Amino acid sequence: MEQPSVQPPPCDRFSQSLFMRACRCEPVERTPIWLMRQAGRYLPEYRAVREKVGFLELCKTPRLSAEVMIATVQRLGVDAAIIFSDLLPLLEPMGLDLEFTAGEGPVIHNPVREPADVARVRDLEDVDRVGFVMDVVRATRAGLDASIPVIGFAGAPFTLAGYCIEGGTSRAWLHTKTLMYRHESAWHDLLDRLARAVSRYLVAQLDAGAQVVQLFDSWVGCLGPDDYRRYVLPHARTAIAEASRRAPVIHFATGNPALLPLLAEAGGSVIGIDWRIDLDRAWETVGHDRAVQGNLEPAVLLADRETVRRRTREILARAAGRPGHIFNLGHGVLPQTPVENVLEVVATVKAG
């Protein structure tokens, strides 16, 4: 009589997944893959949901957020699921008036421009104020096979500060740099508050069932290495430290490859690499004792499928089979991307 197969406990299946083993720089049968912004406007299913609800409403509706990501993971066949959320709702309980407007994106109506404004940015003492995010983690975890790890995330202190100060996105981040350079004490006070909030937020996501968390420093590439070390690194380290004692942390920044060694110094068991540097050179820069994630140029997915396959294989060749590579784009999937090209990347990575 055939014996039933014995499934390992869920925690063991998490830890032995391709993604988690790669985070620990352990050998894997093939390179794991997931994609930043893997549930987004390029998917017709996502656009159908967004026709019914606004973006912030979607983020604050755990059932819908989880359904969007679960369906995306199942359609794409990726090896990990990042929760569907956004960097900025964390700022609302800290006293920032956040709105997502059509055509403009996030707008903060009470930006922090002067040292006196920092005092009204409240410490995040209670993560229950963003409890809907933890509910998204739980619902996503419950709806996925135990072999698919769930990734939580937060914005990094510098990137959150940039939104707080500019009141939205910016090309030059002039208001941000003005406060940073002219009022250094107020700057560090603001980033201290944000770093403590991010730390609590990441740990709460791990407590809710995430296996990994990622810190996104989407805008820090506007700084050079000296300014990063002076104005950012201590706060990034604070944001990451507690979560790093609990689980793998992916530390990702875009825009300036010269910051990579400083990202590694700030912390993270996995360093995310954007497309502005060759993967093999980036890995040498951060050290082969770390895992790396990346780093296909997102716009490559707008090309023909043969180009997509070729460029994907080039990234794999640069990793050279070294344990610790997680395939991803160098940033998020662009809204104009054909779904077929995303599927092509996943298939190419899985084929080796």
pLDDT in tens, 210-222: 999 999 999 999 9
- Average pLDDT of the residues in 88-107: 90
Rounded Cα gap, residues 326 and 254, in angstroms: 17
- The pLDDT value given to residue 105: 84
- The pLDDT value given to residue 7: 41
Active-site residue, selected from the candidate residues 46, 163, 201, 231: 163
- The pLDDT value given to residue 242: 98
Measured CA angle at 267 (ends 264, 271), to 5 deg: 50
Beta-carbon contacts of residue 169 (< 8 Å; ≥ 6 apart): 105, 106, 163
Rounded Cα gap, residues 227 and 164, in angstroms: 19
Active-site residue, selected from the candidate residues 13, 41, 229, 322: 41
pTM: 0.95
pLDDT at 102 over 90: no
**Residue 230 designated active-site:** no
| Helix 279-286, helix 305-319: angle, nearest 10 | 30
**Residue 182 designated active-site:** no
Active-site residue, selected from the candidate residues 13, 24, 30, 37: 37
Domain layout of the chain by residue ranges? 10-351
- The pLDDT value given to residue 12: 61
Q: What is the DSSP letter of 29?
A: S
Average pLDDT of the chain to the nearest whole number? 94
Rounded Cα gap, residues 110 and 7, in angstroms: 52
Tokens representing residue 255 in the block: 């825009």
Closest CA to 312 of 275, 276, 282: 275
Q: For 177-219, how does the pLDDT look when each residue is reduced to its tens digit (9 = 90+)?
A: 999 999 999 999 999 999 999 999 999 999 999 999 999 999 9
pLDDT at 101 over 90: no
Helical H runs in the chain?
A: 10-15, 18-23, 44-50, 55-59, 62-76, 115-118, 131-143, 157-166, 174-182, 184-208, 225-231, 233-244, 260-266, 279-286, 305-319, 339-351
Distances (CA, A) of 270 to 18, 203, 290: 14, 17, 6
Q: For 115-167, how does the pLDDT look when each residue is reduced to its tens digit (9 = 90+)?
A: 999 999 999 989 999 999 999 999 999 999 989 999 999 999 999 999 999 99
Active-site residue, selected from the candidate residues 13, 24, 75, 86: 86
pLDDT at 11 over 70: no
Active-site residue, selected from the candidate residues 24, 30, 50, 311: 50
Please, are residues 46 and 40 in contact by the beta-carbon 8 Å criterion?
yes
Domain covering 10-351: architecture: Alpha-Beta Barrel (3.20)
**Residue 163 designated active-site:** yes
